[in-house]
């Protein structure tokens, strides 16, 4: 079997908040969609995302790398990966890895269709349902009164886990930060898991000082409490706090995870399939975390991560942040705090032609 066709498209989606009817943030979220065709008639789809001013550069990167895949056997994924890496010896920087992720995901979709199995089964098939948490509904730039009501609404809609953010924008201080967590916790009780993302906005001293005051609210995790590659600083925070610390979404490729794990920097390893280099690399990172006796969780792209987090024995929960959902005709929906693994071959996804328009 050989890859014969490659099509790419940039798809713009509104930056709205459907999970708890939150405010729409100005601007759009731009995704790069990829479709491979083969001489066997099997198609595979993938996508990637930068989320900034380089969306068109990423579209070009995916288009040019996809061209290099023509004539290759789509089941020889590591062979194709090696060829693409060799084609851009200045890598493995950000845009190359993001582009290669779209390709790797599409190759896994083909593999699933060839073997008539969902990607989740090919990747390990550990369980058929997986926990999921609501993300994006309790953002730091949303007003406090909205966030408190939205947290209760998410619970009433069946979510058993949800994530908020601290390191508030503008004029903030520790008392205001802690009060926000207290009010959200009060709205949902202690039976609902609550995560909190800092997005690297604290220094190590702040993370320990504020984190200790957050400990009594028994968060499920505190995420990206400081700069993502300050492995020693992260380890100091992880040691100091009772609350588990999660980190990893900002790391590219697999090697930084080795450094993070060796430094015992975190309690929970977060992996983004788009920044890891695709499904192949995601699974390698999950294996490294397993060897360190640590669970893994996902970042963005729940349509893909439902396959991966469910597949591995140390998969903990899937971030349900539906930014990319509208790219597809149909996506997995959370029910009673869980996602059921799709059983169609491959990823079980089809682009919505109204949203993704290949030239």
Helix H or strand E encompassing 235: helix 231-240
CB of residue 24 to Mg ion, shortest distance in Å: 20
Residues 44-63 that bind Mg ion (CB under 5 A): none
Least distance from Mg ion to the Cβ atom of residue 272, Å: 9
Cα–Cα distance for residue pair 23/35, rounded to 1 Å: 33
Are 325 and 349 in contact by the 8 Å Cβ rule? The answer is: no
Token pair in block for residue 185: 């916790």
Contact (CB, 8 A) for 263 and 231: yes
Cα separation, 117 vs 184, in Å, equals: 41
Q: Which is nearer to Mg ion, 121 or 226 (CB)?
A: 226
Encoded tokens for 58: 């990423």
Closer residue to Mg ion, CB minimum distance, 38 or 265: 265
Our measurement of the distance from residue 277's CA atom to the centroid of its chain's CA atoms, rounded to an integer in Å, reads 12
Please identify, using beta-carbon distances, which residue of 241 and 246 lies nearer to Mg ion: 246
Q: How far is the CB of 51 from Mg ion (least distance, A)?
A: 12
Site for Mg ion in 210-239 (CB under 5 A): 223
Residue 199 CB, nearest approach to Mg ion (Å)? 6
> Minimum distance between the CB of residue 52 and Mg ion, rounded to whole angstroms?
16
- Would you call 242 exposed, middle or buried from its count of C-beta atoms within 10 A (0-12, 13-18, 19+)? exposed
Residue placing its CB nearer to Mg ion in the complex, 177 or 223: 223
Q: In the bound complex, what is the minimum distance in angstroms from residue 338's beta carbon to Mg ion?
A: 21
Would you say 146 or 201 has its CB closer to Mg ion? Answer: 201
Binding string, 142-181, against Mg ion, x = CB under 5 A? ----------------------------------------
DSSP output for 205-225: HHHHHHHHHHGGG--SEEE--
- Lay out the site mask for Mg ion across 185-214 (x = CB under 5 A, - = otherwise): ------------x-----------------
Q: How far is the CB of 233 from Mg ion (least distance, A)?
A: 17
Closest to 300 in 3D by CA, of 133, 174, 157:
133
When the beta carbons of 72 and 303 are compared against Mg ion, the nearer one is 303
Q: Write out the binding residues for Mg ion, residues 315-344 only, by CB under 5 A.
A: none
Residue 93 CB neighbour total at 10 angstroms:
11
Residue nearest to Mg ion (CB): 197
Number of residues that bind Mg ion (CB under 5 A): 2
* CA nearest to 327, candidates 105, 108, 169, 23: 105
Nearer to Mg ion, 104 or 197 (CB): 197
Q: State in angstroms the smallest separation of the CB of 80 from Mg ion.
A: 30
8 A C-beta contact, residue 341 and residue 118: yes
d(CA 113, CA 23): 39
For residue 155, the SS3 value is helix
Closer to Mg ion by Cβ: residue 104 or 249:
249
Regarding 109 and contact with Mg ion (CB under 5 A), the answer is no
Tell me phi and psi for residue 36, to 5 degrees: -100, 145
| Segment 58 to 97, residues that bind Mg ion, using CB under 5 A | none
Binding site for Mg ion (CB under 5 A): 197, 223
């Amino acid at each position: 079997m050989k890859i014969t066709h490659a099509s790419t498209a940039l798809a713009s989606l509104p930056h709205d908040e459907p999970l708890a009817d939150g405010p729409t943030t100005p601007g759009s979220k731009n995704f790069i969609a990829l479709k491979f065709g083969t001489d066997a008639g099997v198609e595979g789809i993938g996508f990637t995302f930068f989320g900034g001013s380089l969306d068109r550069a990423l579209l070009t990167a995916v288009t040019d790398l996809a061209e290099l895949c023509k004539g290759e056997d789509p089941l020889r994924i590591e062979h194709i990966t090696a060829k693409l890496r060799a084609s851009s010896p200045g890598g493995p920087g950000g845009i190359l890895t993001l582009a290669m992720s779209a390709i790797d995901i599409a190759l896994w979709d083909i593999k699933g269709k060839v073997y008539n199995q969902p990607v989740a089964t090919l990747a390990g098939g550990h369980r058929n349902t997986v926990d999921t948490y609501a993300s994006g509904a309790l953002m730091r730039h949303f007003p406090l009164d909205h966030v408190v009501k939205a947290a209760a609404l998410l619970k009433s809609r069946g979510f058993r886990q949800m994530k908020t953010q601290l390191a508030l924008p503008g004029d903030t201080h520790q008392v205001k930060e802690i009060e926000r967590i207290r009010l959200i916790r009060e709205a949902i009780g202690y039976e609902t898991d609550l995560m909190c993302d800092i997005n690297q906005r604290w220094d190590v001293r702040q993370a320990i000082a504020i984190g200790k005051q957050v400990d009594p609210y028994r968060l499920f995790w505190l995420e990206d409490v400081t700069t993502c590659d300050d492995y020693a600083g992260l380890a100091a925070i992880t040691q100091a706090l009772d609350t588990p610390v999660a980190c990893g979404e900002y790391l590219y490729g697999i090697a930084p995870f080795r450094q993070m794990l060796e430094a015992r920097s975190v309690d929970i390893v977060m992996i983004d399939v788009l920044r890891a280099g695709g499904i192949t690399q995601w699974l390698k990172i999950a294996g490294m975390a397993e060897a360190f006796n640590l669970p893994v969780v996902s970042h963005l792209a729940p349509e893909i991560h439902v396959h991966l987090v469910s597949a591995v024995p140390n998969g903990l929960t899937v971030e349900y942040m539906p930014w990319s959902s509208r790219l597809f005709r149909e996506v997995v929906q959370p029910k009673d705090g869980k996602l059921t693994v799709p059983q169609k071959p491959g990823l079980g996804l089809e682009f919505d032609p109204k949203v993704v328009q290949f030239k």
